[in-house]
Structure 1
């Protein structure tokens, strides 16, 4: 508490600026809702100017005015359909940078410093009018002395220092928000850490270049997928020089047809590439909006701007595969398993989750899957049952919706989940292959060796705790009383059966020899045989019912 308050005081000028901006847009009441009234001196929220805009619109405009750190925060919040309603998500998705375009004179000194040379020593041509300007960088066209057309991405000067200060402040604000018990469940500090990782990675253009190279290597055998080459000799943390991809926008289907391109083929190739990134490679484009997807000659598909990527380890890829398979096969049980895996300890009411999964499958099963509606409904389910998704899956879901929106503009009949079926089948075959079995066996042996090595230490610890009476075991087994009754009934029946069996074995031969004879056997033997057959039928019937 003291640390977070001290950090807020240390950045008091920035805090005052934030409060002033929120107030100017009539959004300062958000601070009080978050339990941050102390940042404005504990005063009651002042009345804002009359406006027709709702709170989401006012907050979105305030975030844009506060600069790149807060724009990125809003973009991360826009992916949090598991905690924010659709009205907020829709508004935050409209966030864009309000940063003014910098003149070439404002950037030239930094560019020359990063190049370590004059422009004419590296470039044959350099157009100082920017192609685009955003909150983090401006982009320019140029041509290298060796003749290649390139795009030059230049980071805004002084950006890292300002963003680092904002992130420190946000970390402290998140700590203050967690003091509000009603909001602590949404893990604001974890959200800010996610923001910090994303921002610092995006500020390092060498990381973007490495991402680009990694994806390019994954598609080296697929010439219809194009990833720009990075010119490392001229690139650095604040400057990125990469291949220029001549292309068309993927949003104008008719214009593509007029250029001799096949929009449906482009959509199919783009979808297959994106699914490959997800399920096979585990490294995928985190923001495949229309500006980052390119329709190129020869029906090739280009991907640019790998400043934001998502990463999925093998376990997560299998879970995503299970999620997609559950949707295509209308399997609510498999969907429940995925929900529990993703939510961890957050699942409190499994029967309610099972019912929600059945209703979800019923709404979307048996028809072509609409990705946006599918994920929006899924996040509504998560929010309704107070389940939180891991950050990597939030990036994944946002990327899926964005990619689907672009690709279905090319081909309205495209089904991204159906496109994933071959990759899902391939993954299933790999899981059943001898190579995977061998690897799992080796992993099991390695785990067993580690456990055997730790066993003496664990045994000593257990004995010491038992000696001092400090061993505590807590068990929470739902349905334990019902299980106890079932076991008691089963043991009673077993005891009775054993007693009867002993009596029959002891006195059966003597009793069976008494009485009238029919077809060569005493009548009591016939009755015993009938009773035995009836008991066997009853036993088999009980087994059938229990299964």
Structure 2
């Protein structure tokens, strides 16, 4: 593995942590012994030896810092890749970082906005209310009296993260052969992680998400989205309206206020369905800390750094799978998965069929109130891992969001179940599917596509005909049947060639014999008889070849 000099210190820190938690085999796999030569490779202490693999990974990630904590948090949603015990440990990862100096935060604000923080805000609380791996959060109020929160990005965090990403990429490339053992595409994971993390480093991205959600719920009484103050928002600064309410995680306070927790959980479900089915754009991290309760009739989302996007085609395929599940039509499910191009052709299809039958019949007759969405999805993810079925990332994000929402719903309402969520799902889906306006728009889109095809097909035909006229058409045909055709053509040309040679020798020899000088020269007679002899041999070979060809046909 090639090690850049500028990252040498960081490489040493990584090697030290890996060796400490018993992952020295990774150091060997990465060929990083040169970095590790000053670090004694000893057996881990008994405390670490007694940890599970998942706990060792979590503790190592916590020591490696913000970038790796973020990676661990993202991997905790990838149930299609990792076993549940590792997922459980990674789910415990939290942004547990030290606060940075407020004066430094103020200087960052001034460099971004061009004004002192005290001149922009009437009141500014020097004590941060939260410190995360990427930024720090403060409370303040504008001259107009509106209360706001301010996110200020950590100093040099972008360069630190970019350096860590560079190291992670090098490690993923060095470990690409390791895929044979763990069957995970590490390079792809790092690239996806890089894309997501670079978005989180740009607060403009979060601001745009918040504004889009505010537009989605503009006319809703159920959900309130805080306002973004664009004037004071940049890549490293985000200023948003402060939400005053009760965090959904504070269940005891909600109950003391006498609010109907069941009604609140139903609002959460309806709001997710609205995001998914009407807009294909949803809040991908609805955990209790990111939802405030304003009243028993209204909730509010905060933190829009993680969002999910799902297209209509994927939603339609999911709906088809749901219908096939109800009908216990396993073959239909397999067909849909193949249509999605997510099933490896080398996989044992009969084994997939048997496992699907088991899953369906195991859960189908169980009372709905006893079924957990999380349990079902965990079973599904085990199935996906077993058969190496690669589900699109957008659907994985949706599945993770549903799992999070169920956990959040159960905190509020212990009776929250698949039944309550399923009823809302079906009602919402079919109400929207057969909504006259939606049916009209769908019909309009279909008509527009048909008109476009009618306009396009003649042009495409003209192009094809023009290319045929100019002899520009190239065809590439690969089929097993054409191998036998090639053999037949070869046999035929061989027979024709032999026949032509035979005919020419016979004719030549006959002309020589018919010559009046044949009796005058012994060599002429010998040549004529040799020609007849050769033609006899060729004729014999030709007959044998024809008989063999006929025999092969039978």
CA distance in 2, matches of 1:421, 1:39: 57
SS at match of 1:241: strand
Alignment match of 2:8 (pick from 5, 9, 12): 12
- In the other structure, the counterpart of 2:441 is 435
Deviation (angstroms), 1:427: 4.6
Deviation (angstroms), 1:370: 1.2
Deviation (angstroms), 1:87: 0.9
**Greater Cα radius of gyration, structure 1 or 2:** 2
TM-score when normalising by structure 2: 0.77
- In the other structure, the counterpart of 2:44 is 48
CA deviation string 1:86-141 (max 9, x = no partner): 11111111112332121212322102222321223211111111111111111111
Q: Is the 8 A contact 1:152 1:240 kept in 2?
A: yes
Provide closer, same or farther for how the CA distance between residues 185 and 10 of structure 1 changes in structure 2, counting only shifts above 3 A. farther
Deviation (angstroms), 1:324: 4.7
Question: Superposition pairs for residues 182-261 of structure 1, below 5 Å?
Answer: 182=180, 186-261=184-259
CA deviation string 1:332-357 (max 9, x = no partner): 45543454345525253333222222
- In the other structure, the counterpart of 2:78 is 80
Q: Is the 8 A contact 2:102 2:126 kept in 1?
A: yes
CA distance in 2, matches of 1:207, 1:401: 25
Q: Is the 8 A contact 2:15 2:35 kept in 1?
A: no
CA distance in 2, matches of 1:197, 1:408: 32
1:400 and 2:402 correspond: yes
CA deviation string 1:493-528 (max 9, x = no partner): xxxxxxxxxxxxxxxxxxxxxxxxxxxxxxxxxxxx
Q: Is the 8 A contact 2:343 2:389 kept in 1?
A: no
Q: Is the 8 A contact 1:279 1:321 kept in 2?
A: no
CA distance in 2, matches of 1:391, 1:134: 26
Provide closer, same or farther for how the CA distance between residues 304 and 352 of structure 1 changes in structure 2, counting only shifts above 3 A. same
- In the other structure, the counterpart of 1:24 is 20
Alignment match of 2:118 (pick from 100, 117, 120): 120
Q: Could you list the structure 1 runs, at least 4 aligned residues long, displaced by more than 6 angstroms after superposition.
A: 41-45, 461-467
CA distance in 2, matches of 1:242, 1:248: 18
Q: Is the 8 A contact 2:261 2:296 kept in 1?
A: no
CA distance in 2, matches of 1:203, 1:66: 19
- In the other structure, the counterpart of 1:352 is 351
Q: Is the 8 A contact 1:332 1:354 kept in 2?
A: yes
Question: Superposition pairs for residues 257-276 of structure 1, below 5 Å?
Answer: 257-276=255-274
Deviation (angstroms), 1:160: 1.0
Deviation (angstroms), 1:433: 2.8
Deviation (angstroms), 1:251: 3.5
Q: Pick 1 or 2: higher relative contact order, CA cutoff 8 A, min separation 6.
A: 1
- In the other structure, the counterpart of 1:473 is 478
Provide closer, same or farther for how the CA distance between residues 430 and 447 of structure 1 changes in structure 2, counting only shifts above 3 A. farther
CA deviation string 1:248-302 (max 9, x = no partner): 1323444313213111111001111012112221111111111101111253111
CA distance in 2, matches of 1:166, 1:448: 53
1:422 and 2:427 correspond: yes
Q: Is the 8 A contact 1:331 1:361 kept in 2?
A: no
SS at match of 1:291: helix
Gaps of 5+ in 2: 482-554
- In the other structure, the counterpart of 1:446 is 452
- In the other structure, the counterpart of 1:391 is 393
CA distance in 2, matches of 1:449, 1:31: 61
Question: Superposition pairs for residues 249-398 of structure 1, below 5 Å?
Answer: 249-326=247-324, 332-342=330-340, 344-347=342-345, 348-366=347-365, 367-368=367-368, 369-398=371-400
Deviation (angstroms), 1:454: 4.5
SS at match of 1:124: strand
CA deviation string 1:395-447 (max 9, x = no partner): 22211111110112112222323321122213543699343234124224435
SS at match of 2:342: helix
CA deviation string 1:2-50 (max 9, x = no partner): xxx4465663332222111222333333445xx4245666999753233
Q: Is the 8 A contact 2:285 2:404 kept in 1?
A: yes
1:132 and 2:130 correspond: yes
- In the other structure, the counterpart of 1:36 is 30
Deviation (angstroms), 1:222: 0.8
CA distance in 2, matches of 1:161, 1:210: 24
CA distance in 2, matches of 1:14, 1:461: 62
Higher mean C-alpha deviation, range 77-86 or range 36-45: 36-45
Q: Is the 8 A contact 2:12 2:35 kept in 1?
A: no
Higher mean C-alpha deviation, range 54-63 or range 225-234: 54-63
CA distance in 2, matches of 1:64, 1:461: 65
Q: Is the 8 A contact 1:321 1:424 kept in 2?
A: no
Provide closer, same or farther for how the CA distance between residues 228 and 417 of structure 1 changes in structure 2, counting only shifts above 3 A. same
SS at match of 1:160: helix
CA distance in 2, matches of 1:475, 1:78: 46
- Count the aligned residue pairs: 468
Q: Is the 8 A contact 1:207 1:307 kept in 2?
A: yes
Q: Is the 8 A contact 2:211 2:227 kept in 1?
A: yes
Deviation (angstroms), 1:238: 0.8
- In the other structure, the counterpart of 1:504 is none
TM-score when normalising by structure 1: 0.78
Gaps of 5+ in 1: 477-547
Deviation (angstroms), 1:451: 5.5
Question: Superposition pairs for residues 513-528 of structure 1, below 5 Å?
Answer: none
